[in-house]
Structure 1
């Protein structure tokens, strides 16, 4: 089974959406998707209500997810680690123990060449439209990721 981890800062906005979206696009008997945050702000908390609402609007239930902090052992547990932005990418890399760990970490938006932005914006301080934008951005790239993963 291939294991994929989605990572943002607090694990309540972007990474729970990416987690739910990608999991919905992959067969659960072949792929395991989870999410984490580089900060410890929301350990044990459900996703932001706006993330839950936008996911529900698109037919996904992410309400059972709980925030967790990224830890070095995740390099052993996961095959691919997707960072939502460059800042979180850098924070993950700082915890890497060797080149093998580093080779697992990628910026998620780099997976789809048609996406012209490099970082998934953090919608936390904005209104609901920011969450919709992030959902659509992640839905597009997760479709590409899903197709690539299922080809291999």
Structure 2
């Protein structure tokens, strides 16, 4: 059985690709890559087809993830039917995803990533695009991804 995980932010060039890359690295480190399909997408389409922000890529490289490649895409209703876990970076994304899921039969768990890291004291991963706070975002994403993986391992006996 493949466990499908989707990370969602606004443009799919900063937060969600960072979360995808970090989660993929944690899954690989745990020796579980064969059991997962991991992706990311955005709620808006203005960056569709773009690579991740160069600052996202720099933070990933600084944290040992140098082989990540991604092309931005927009989240679809089909995604909500195909993925088991859909992780929103903030309240607006969670709202957009739940609105998109209206009248769909889905099994996906739509939650905010930081619901899996309550010890961080924040619910939203802030957008670093204008603030430049990519280091802080990585810290939050890493904590959320660790908590998410621990929860999935418990739920699936991995």
Secondary structure of residue in 2 paired with 1:124 = helix
Alpha-carbon distance, 1:63 to partner:
4.5
Secondary structure of residue in 2 paired with 1:29 = helix
Q: Tell me how far apart the structure 1 counterparts of residues 90 and 60 of structure 2 sit (CA, whole Å).
A: 20
Q: Pick one of 133, 142, 146 that aligns with 1:143.
A: 146
Name stretches of at least 5 consecutive residues in structure 2 with no aligned partner: none
Q: Tell me how far apart the structure 2 counterparts of residues 58 and 84 of structure 1 sit (CA, whole Å).
A: 20
Q: Tell me how far apart the structure 1 counterparts of residues 22 and 15 of structure 2 sit (CA, whole Å).
A: 11
Name the structure 1 match of 2:6: 5
Name stretches of at least 5 consecutive residues in structure 1 with no aligned partner: none
Number of equivalences = 150
Which structure has the highest helix share of the two? Answer: 2
Q: Pick one of 110, 118, 129 that aligns with 1:113.
A: 118
Q: Tell me how far apart the structure 1 counterparts of residues 108 and 153 of structure 2 sit (CA, whole Å).
A: 20
Q: Tell me how far apart the structure 2 counterparts of residues 74 and 17 of structure 1 sit (CA, whole Å).
A: 19
1:24 aligns with 2:25: yes
- Given that 1:8 and 1:15 are in contact with CA atoms closer than 8 Å, whether structure 2 keeps it comes out as yes
Alpha-carbon distance, 1:110 to partner:
0.8
Name the structure 2 match of 1:86: 91
Q: Tell me how far apart the structure 2 counterparts of residues 25 and 63 of structure 1 sit (CA, whole Å).
A: 13
CA separation of 1:100 and 1:110: change in aligned 2, threshold 3 A? farther
Query: What's the Cα RMSD here?
Result: 1.5
Name the structure 2 match of 1:61: 66
Alpha-carbon distance, 1:79 to partner:
0.5
